[in-house]
Amino acid sequence: MAITLNGTTGITTPDITSTAGFDSADLTGDIAAARITTALNATGSAPIYAARAWVNFNGTGTVAIRASGNVSSITDNGTGDYTVNFTTAMPDANYSAIATSTNTGVGYGAYAVGYESVRARTVASWSFWTGSSTALQDTGFNNVAIFR
């Protein structure tokens, strides 16, 4: 039986038309941790944590989301200053946010990413800035992942 893990729709399995080869966990919808680990090709005993939200967006001109999960929109707060707004709020503000930013064809292409301390981290959004050591700058390729 194939199990599909999708960041948008969740865990799906094919319709069960026969009980042959299935145990009670399959028939009740419970999925053992070992089965999830196998489905994710994970090894070792360290716990597995899924991203609670992620986004890939263009931060130049009119900000545009290319692809995302649990992100409703991006707010352009000004040059190189963005807020990622979550579709479903985080359980608290103690999440880990990871961001990368780059432009192609400009200098080396990599830019610093920093947490915008002027705005408080909230359960509904996370703000950050991009730029060089001397000035904030809009960047074309931005990626954010939120873990909790």
Residue 45 included in any domain: no
pLDDT at 83: 94
pLDDT at 143: 93
| Per-residue pLDDT tens listing for the chain (148 residues) | 566 666 666 666 665 555 555 555 554 444 567 777 777 788 888 888 889 999 999 999 999 999 999 999 999 999 999 999 999 999 999 999 999 888 765 555 556 777 655 677 899 999 998 887 788 889 999 999 999 9
The answer to whether residues 75 and 119 belong to one domain is yes
In the chain the beta strands, taken as DSSP E runs, fall at 4-6, 10-12, 51-58, 64-69, 71-78, 81-86, 96-102, 112-115, 125-131, 141-147
Residue 46 included in any domain: no
pLDDT at 61: 92
Residue 20: which domain range? Answer: 4-39
Residue 44 included in any domain: no
The answer to whether residues 30 and 77 belong to one domain is no
Reported pTM? 0.71
pLDDT at 29: 46
pLDDT at 134: 80
Residue 32 included in any domain: yes
